[in-house]
Amino acid sequence: METKINKLNEIDKRNPFTVPEGYFTRFNEEIMNHLPEKEAAKPKTVTMWDKAKPWVYMAAMFMGIFFTIQLLTRNAVNQQQDPANQIATIQSTQSTDDYWSKVQITEEEFYEYLEEQLVKDGYYDYMYNQINMN
């Protein structure tokens, strides 16, 4: 064991790598001297149109939306205000009102009709089963 320690002590402790005197003080200058000359890039000129383009596009979009909404609402209003359409609607409601005002049916006939509809559609069985389940 002592032989290994003795061998380690025999090794020279000085650094085998050396740097020339003042190497790092001139390092940047040397690197810059070796690089090729580069032209400075001219800054791109921004025109007025390039600056205004996003705003113009946004204004056009809002105008398109505005005119689309105007077109859709104007068609809906025109359909509601169409005189022929209004007359047809009024006549159809009057004809149904006239029909029901002329029908003479007793209360008992009305309840029989409702009961037939309940049985026919199966609602009577559904309601009866719900009541019996409780």
Here the tokens at position 125 are 């069985």
Would you say residue 122 lies in a domain? no
Would you say residue 116 lies in a domain? no
Neighbours of 118 (CB within 10 A): 15
Helix/strand/coil for 35: coil
Q: For the whole model, what pTM was predicted?
A: 0.31
Would you say residue 13 lies in a domain? yes
Q: Which residue has the higher pLDDT, 8 or 45?
A: 45
**pLDDT above 90: residue 61:** yes
Share of the chain above pLDDT 90, in %: 19
Domain around 19: 2-34
Q: Of 17, 131, 102, nearest to 123 (Cα)? A: 131
Here the tokens at position 44 are 């791109």
**pLDDT above 90: residue 122:** no
Would you say residue 26 lies in a domain? yes
Q: What is the mean pLDDT of the chain?
A: 78
**pLDDT above 60: residue 24:** yes
Would you say residue 6 lies in a domain? yes
- Residue 80 has a pLDDT of 60
Would you say residue 114 lies in a domain? no
Would you say residue 24 lies in a domain? yes
Would you say residue 7 lies in a domain? yes
- Residue 20 has a pLDDT of 81
Residue type, 79: Q
Number of domains within the chain? 1
Here the tokens at position 61 are 């979009």
